[in-house]
Amino acid sequence: MGELVFVGLGLHDEKGISLRGLEEAESADAVFIELYTSFMPNFSVEGFERVVGKKIHVVSRRQLEDENGKVVLDAAVRGKAVLLVPGDPLIATTHVALRLEAAKRGVRTRIVHAASIISAVIGLCGLHNYKFGKSVTIPFPSNFSETPYMVVAQNKKLGLHTLCLLDIDAEGNRHLSLREALEMLLTVEEKKRMNIVTNETLAVGVARAGSSNPKVKAGSVRELLGYDFGGPPYSLVFPGKLHFMEAEALIAFAWAPLSVRRFVE
């Protein structure tokens, strides 16, 4: 039987792929790419085709999810297929399902990892990765949910940080802004009155993680509401209890006010 190799593309452009990932794509019989699970601001399919010297087949959400990745798996049965994925390949649960489907068919699978938005955002903030609790996605207003607020509340109760990934619609070129995300959380705060996300709550906004010009800003929710983060993609972090080094990192690298030191425990 053939094989299916999941290859991470990194976060921003064609240069984010590893040398190993590039070799896998160059030696594949068929190369596919999905661009709906994340947004890579400077990535060009045409540019990447020139790099690997072969045609790249763009697959849609419908093909990978509704059709169980049939087009990719059929190619993997016949030979070596590579699926290029933004970020780290198996962060998106849809690709775990595809890997399981490959196993059912007897197709061997391998993974070539790359930078993930999760590690990138945490690193840019200067916070300790082992102090993060459950992460959550904040959806577009049309899919309004109180879940993100409750996840922040649960993590804060334990003194943990919360990473919030902001929803995207890559195919529709829509990106939930940091302002929209904060306003939705404030709406839930008005209802719940749990003092979890107020205008004075400390938060960290991150834009374009993985690029050469990321923007990181820590401050009160009120301050972030009016801050210009530039273009997408966006992420949001709500710190819990801080180590003294985390506080200093937020001051040095995220322009946090000196008052964040009061959160040190």
Residues 47 and 94 both lie in one domain: yes
Residues 55 and 133 both lie in one domain: no
Q: What percent of the chain has pLDDT over 90?
A: 94
Q: What is the pLDDT of residues 62-104, one digit of tens each?
A: 999 999 999 999 999 999 999 999 999 998 778 999 999 999 9
Which pTM does this prediction carry?
Answer: 0.92
The pLDDT of residue 159 is above 90: yes
How many Cα atoms are found within 13 Å in the side-chain-facing hemisphere of 190?
6
Residue 23 has a pLDDT of 97
CATH number, domain containing residue 171: 3.30.950.10
Residues 142 and 244 both lie in one domain: yes
Which residue segment(s) compose the domain that 102 sits in?
3-112
Residues 76 and 166 both lie in one domain: no
Crossing angle for the helix pair 117-125 and 244-253, nearest 10 degrees?
Answer: 90
59 near 249, Cβ under 8 Å?
Answer: no
Tell me the two tokens of residue 41: 């601001």
Residues 126 and 252 both lie in one domain: yes
CATH number, domain containing residue 69: 3.40.1010.10
Residues 89 and 139 both lie in one domain: no
Last residue of a domain, one of 112, 131, 150: 112
Q: What is the DSSP string of the chain?
A: --EEEEEE-BSSSGGGS-HHHHHHHHT-SEEEE--SSS--TT--HHHHHHHHTS-EEE--HIIIIITTTHHHHHHHHHSEEEEEESBSTTSSHHHHHHHHHHHHTT-EEEEE----HHHHHHHHHT--GGGB---EEEPPGGG--SHHHHHHHHHHHTT-BEEEEEPEETTTTEE--HHHHHHHHHHHHHHH--SSS-TT-EEEEEESTTSSS-EEEEEEHHHHHT----SS-EEEEE--SB-HHHHHHHHHHS---GGGGGGB-
Nearest C-alpha neighbor of 130 from the set 207, 262, 245: 245
Residues 66 and 136 both lie in one domain: no
Residues 159 and 79 both lie in one domain: no
Q: What is the pLDDT of residues 117-143, one digit of tens each?
A: 999 999 999 999 999 999 999 999 999
Last residue of a domain, one of 88, 112, 136: 112
Residues 16 and 122 both lie in one domain: no
Taking residues 234-263, what's their average pLDDT? 97
Last residue of a domain, one of 94, 112, 130: 112
114 near 8, Cβ under 8 Å?
Answer: yes
Residues 143 and 244 both lie in one domain: yes
Residues 83 and 144 both lie in one domain: no
- The Cα 206–Cα 194 span in angstroms is 25
Residues 49 and 63 both lie in one domain: yes
> Could you tell me the CA-to-CA distances from 3 to 100, 101, 102, 105 in Å, in that order?
13, 12, 9, 10
The pLDDT of residue 233 is above 80: yes
Q: What is the pLDDT of residues 24-49, one digit of tens each?
A: 999 999 999 999 988 899 999 999 99
How many distinct structural domains can be found in the chain?
2
